[in-house]
A and B are shown apart, each in its own frame.
Chain A
């Protein structure tokens, strides 16, 4: 089926810690994206990462398309990193339908 699964569902860390979030996706899904939704509801696109590795400051992402997974790394966490992290992929053969994972809720404690 068409699936995107994220783990863990919840993560609580102290400020300064590192974390890895995982996204597994079925072969009916491609062109993964990672989003951060802050506590006020704003969804920010972090990475568009069909394959390979990208870095942006303290965040980086790796997608291994052949093994159908993607990882989001957050280093030296800050309280502003709190929120929900979603991965989403495009349904193959549909240009306009994103399939979303259930999200990882991250809480960074000061």
Chain B
């Protein structure tokens, strides 16, 4: 099974809302990633968790807060977002670093 799942598929939120994106994989992968993708652009790395520890934070604003409750789950908590944060948010996992990455279907986020 090479599946990464993400919920919700779509999310519309106001600038004062708090919401969370969820990602799950059951492939035993030790690295999990959050990416942000704007239209007609490649994905941009936001965060990397390796062995449940935050390894990389690509200078992401604090209104995005990642969490890795266990080796299979990855959350992205959203608070006080701006309209320019509207994008496709993708979760990915890999067995370890520098390995094949598998992506979830993404959450399409709209901030009003």
Chain B count of residues within 8 A CB distance of the other chain:
25
Size class of the contact patch on chain A = 20 to 34
Contact check, A86 vs B42: say whether CB atoms are below 8 A apart.
yes
Interface residues of chain B: helix, strand, loop or mixed (majority): strand
> Which residues of B sit under 8 angstroms from A96, Cβ to Cβ?
31, 33, 48, 50, 55-56, 97-98
Contact check, A101 vs B105: say whether CB atoms are below 8 A apart.
no
Whether, in the assembled complex, A79 has its beta carbon less than 8 Å from a beta carbon of chain B, the answer is no
Whether, in the assembled complex, B102 has its beta carbon less than 8 Å from a beta carbon of chain A, the answer is yes
Query: Which chain B residues in 57-79 approach chain A with CB under 8 Å?
Result: none
- Report how far A48 CA is from B94 CA in the complex, Å: 12
B interface list, Cβ under 8 A from A: 31, 33, 37, 41-43, 45, 48, 50, 55-56, 88, 90, 92, 96-103, 105-106, 108
